[in-house]
Structure 1
């Protein structure tokens, strides 16, 4: 089955969001669209599926095995959903029905579901077993790890045997092992003669899938060709800039080979710390010292206990045994010595309060020096006008930088940054981390970075604590960058 998209244009309020001349999708060859957030890549995919949000104007032509379709007739492709066209969505845990068990979520997509639900359930169990998650059949989506949820979503998307699969940012928030598993699943679809269109900002996923890549920016395709060519010797300056934004290629002024100056004051002393969560021991007998200016990455697969360890070191989680001692971290005027950046920046702000009011509360409550907020807005290259909006009215990258401002306003001695860029594209991630690390360097803040991205950990941290997961003996490994 072949798919051809021709002259697809998506507009909103007079602004062009997508303007792509043609895309060819063929069986047995992956096509991946990369680019920063807002480039139009997801809108292109959803225009093809017929799943664009209401209020967008769309025009264009599409053929599936030679059968023409009007891209503007979004509802016209509903009869193809699940049988010809299938979607592997972003954030699978949120896409799966939280009130249904996994086997029932998958069974709903089986061709036999309407007439024989028992057969559909059997097919669902077979599909889950083939993906190595049969043991999760009776679980609810919220009980799954990120990698397991992605496998379940893959089962639900493919049980109808649709030959055309669209994967929209499928590796978002996944650790390296889970991403590699996902790539293997997607390659299996392609190798079986399926058509695959993947939307991602993860260049490593694009490399793993092979085939062809399209690079989008500001609604248009700037460069296209075989993955091994475009992502090795790009011809367009923007593609080269995108590649340079990968953490392994960074060369920043704040990067360093050694740790903080010798004799830096001790902030945190953890001794023989053990923590169990949900009946599972995450780490045992952990020793760790943090000094002013330290940069330590907490790495490991999803569910290994990285965030829990970070919060234990902040003394926001109790320990089963051992001791965590804080030194010189008393609250003072204009300073909250311990701060946390959440993985989801919306957790830092009330949803229905303008950002100026939310940040103003922190300024007033902690006696922050006049002009400090405006200074940080300039440092982060943010328009002060953004403060008149609510959190939902700014982009993810902008909100994360505002969360950084909120934390760094208070001159923290110790900052826990919990996956602060895992949902950002490469360019926004680079810009956001550059802004954060500039403040960390300037203020001499000790940084605990929770991340599943080892290349990011190596770029940012002086030391790394690796939590392999599923091990009850001491699992923390300290290693220089």
Structure 2
């Protein structure tokens, strides 16, 4: 498309006001056919509110100003961060897509409609980079990976004839290989002449995809322009901070001491299974770890693709996945397989911080109450002492005292992750498991949380850390790295060695794909 092509969607002077506060103010955006326009910024900057305005969706009770125009010859498609939320779990993929395809075949004779609808569905799946369409159509959404669910949602938008597609954080929680496929997928969409509006905190993906970039802060556009210019010569201080935040993190040095200490955690011959269809279903082995150790005061990063077994390993350590065999020892003592059979000291010793911090809190109780309860329940601390410990810990982690009295819904994602960390620390754990805790954060909040974890390792030599992550930049925090592929431990070793001279072909592929995304592939 030429530079003078008319926009298929346009926002002029958008203002969204909620409870007397402008969450988006004076935003202008043009979505051009065949172009990718990216909105970047910290959590809470207004990216999603702006993107949803193209669909005519706003927060309940909001006052709206400005103008939003969309081409009349096609709807706006939307790919949410969590695609499972918009797919009916009780219907197979074939039903989800065929209902849409039938609307495009009503003009045909009745005898040809079924076959024509099926052809439309298979073509949409192929265009969404799901070539094995026939097999996929028989599955339910829960039988698909997150990436496959995302592509089914894209196929729905293509079937509807969308001229604009809003992709909201499509690479959050995805490994480098899956991110590369998403880049290819959205590139193919743009090459069909469809406008793509990308909302993302993943600057490597934005660098690889975007033609134009809008930088948001506190609901306003602080800088915009062609992607190439913005990356090379950012003009606004906030843009420069976003672009350089990742480079300012310094990982901790390994703890020094005479001789090799006894491991705090040892895994021996661990085999974990899942059962399809409940406890009576056929077991499928999903994880094998022959040997893995973690030493006091150090960090182990567990990396690999989605579905490789990383979270299953973490859940086995935490007593959340009971269907496993093998031995897991903490300070030389065997850990019981499940939470129900662990005593209070063992429960306190292993703490788990989940990827979705919002789902890990009770939305109806103040954050401070929930943080303090850990000390009461696991250490027997009295309520007043626990409350003071919780306040001190929250403040030390950078959360203002007044935030403690708020409910989880009133805190940002970054603030809730800090609260989750504070809650875990009040147990005074020996082992802290962080499962993709940075994947939903922008570069600035991500750097801040990593610095907190590094500081904790420096200050508490009785604490060890397991980082479950897709992000190899995050794995640089670790002293050692373990690489999983299809449930198998394929490589482990000191972090500098694994990151610079990987030995297993899968690790090599992972590093090469990450490097391509890191420098940007362009289109």
What TM-score do you get using the length of structure 2 for normalisation? 0.81
Deviation at 1:20, TM superposition (A): 3.2
Measure the CA separation in 2 of the matches of 1:112 and 1:158.
Answer: 13
The aligned runs of 1:117-156 (5 Å cut-off) are 119-130=116-127, 131-132=129-130, 133-134=132-133, 135-156=135-156
Structure 1 equivalent of residue 458 of structure 2: 441
Q: Aligned-residue CA RMSD in angstroms? A: 2.6
- State how far apart, in whole Å, the 2-side matches of 1:259 and 1:319 are: 35
Q: Report the counterpart of residue 69 of structure 1 in structure 2.
A: none
In the TM superposition, what is the alpha-carbon distance from 1:416 to its structure 2 partner?
0.9
Q: Does residue 1:478 correspond to 2:490, yes or no?
A: no
Q: Quick one: distance in 2 between partners of 1:236 and 1:414?
A: 41
The CA deviation at 1:207 is 1.1
Match of 1:251 in 2: 249
Cα distance change on mapping 1:184 and 1:52 into 2, 3 Å? same
Q: How does 1:167-182 map to 2 (within 5 A)?
A: 167-182=167-182
Contact 1:47 1:58 survives alignment (8 Å): no
How many Å separate the matches in 2 of 1:447 and 1:46? 38
- CA distance 1:359–1:265, shift in 2 (3 Å): same
Alignment partners' CA distance in 1, 2:164 and 2:294:
51
In structure 2, the partner of 1:71 is: none
- CA distance in 2: counterparts of 1:372 and 1:414, whole angstroms: 20
Unaligned regions of 5+ residues in structure 2, if any?
1-5, 107-112, 276-282, 336-342, 497-523
Give, in whole Å, the separation in 2 of the partners of 1:334 and 1:375.
24
> Cα distance, 1:304 vs. partner?
0.4
After superposition, give the CA deviation of every residue in 1:364-396 in whole Å (9 maximum; x if it has no partner).
Answer: 231456642222121112122223233233222
- Which stretch shifts more, 427-436 or 361-370? 361-370
2:228 aligned with 1:268, yes or no? no
User: How many aligned positions are there?
Assistant: 459
Q: How does 1:169-318 map to 2 (within 5 A)?
A: 169-246=169-246, 249-252=247-250, 255-258=251-254, 261=257, 262-278=259-275, 279-314=283-318, 316-318=320-322
1:263 Cα deviation after fit:
3.3
C-alpha deviation, 1:28, in angstroms: 2.1
Partner residue, 1:68: none
Unmatched tracts of structure 1, length 5 or more:
66-78
**1:359 aligned residue:** 371
SS state of the match for residue 232, structure 2? coil
Q: Tell me which residue corresponds to 2:445.
A: 428
Q: Which residue of 2 aligns with 1:98?
A: 89
- 2:485 alignment counterpart: 468
Q: What secondary structure sits across from 1:205 in the alignment?
A: helix
Partner in structure 2 of residue 401 of structure 1: 418
- Is the Cα–Cα contact under 8 Å of residues 288 and 487 in structure 2 kept in the other structure? no
Query: Aligned partners of 1:62, 1:403: CA distance in 2, in Å?
Result: 38
Cα distance, 1:274–1:476 mapped onto 2, change above 3 Å: farther
Cα displacement (A) at 1:335: 9.1
Q: Distance in 1 between matches of 2:105 and 2:21?
A: 42
What is residue 47 of structure 2 aligned with on the other side?
A: 41
Distance change (3 Å), C-alpha of 1:378 and 1:288: same
Match of 2:362 in 1: 350
Report the equivalent of 2:103. 112
Aligned partner (choices 439, 458, 471) of residue 453 of structure 1: 471
Identify the match of residue 323 of structure 1 among 319, 324, 327: 327
Contact 1:334 1:410 in 2 (8 A): no
Paired with 2:453 and 2:48, the residues of 1 have a C-alpha distance of 28
Q: Secondary structure at the match of 1:173?
A: coil
CA displacement at 1:219 relative to structure 2: 1.3
Greater alpha carbon shift after TM alignment, 325-334 vs 19-28: 325-334
**Residue in 2 aligned with 1:60?**
66
* Map 1:80-95 → 2, pairs under 5 A: 83-95=74-86
CA distance in 2, matches of 1:13, 1:57: 9
Match of 1:50 in 2: 56
Structure 2 CA distance for partners of 1:259 and 1:228, relative to 1, 3 Å: farther
* Partners of 2:176 and 2:470 within 8 A in 1: yes
Q: Against the structure 1 CA distance between its residues 129 and 193, is the aligned structure 2 distance closer, same or farther, given a 3 Å change threshold?
A: closer
Cα deviations by residue, 1:24-83 (Å, 9 ceiling, x for unpaired): 222222111100111112111222221223311112234456xxxxxxxxxxxxx76xx3
TM-score with structure 1 setting the length: 0.87
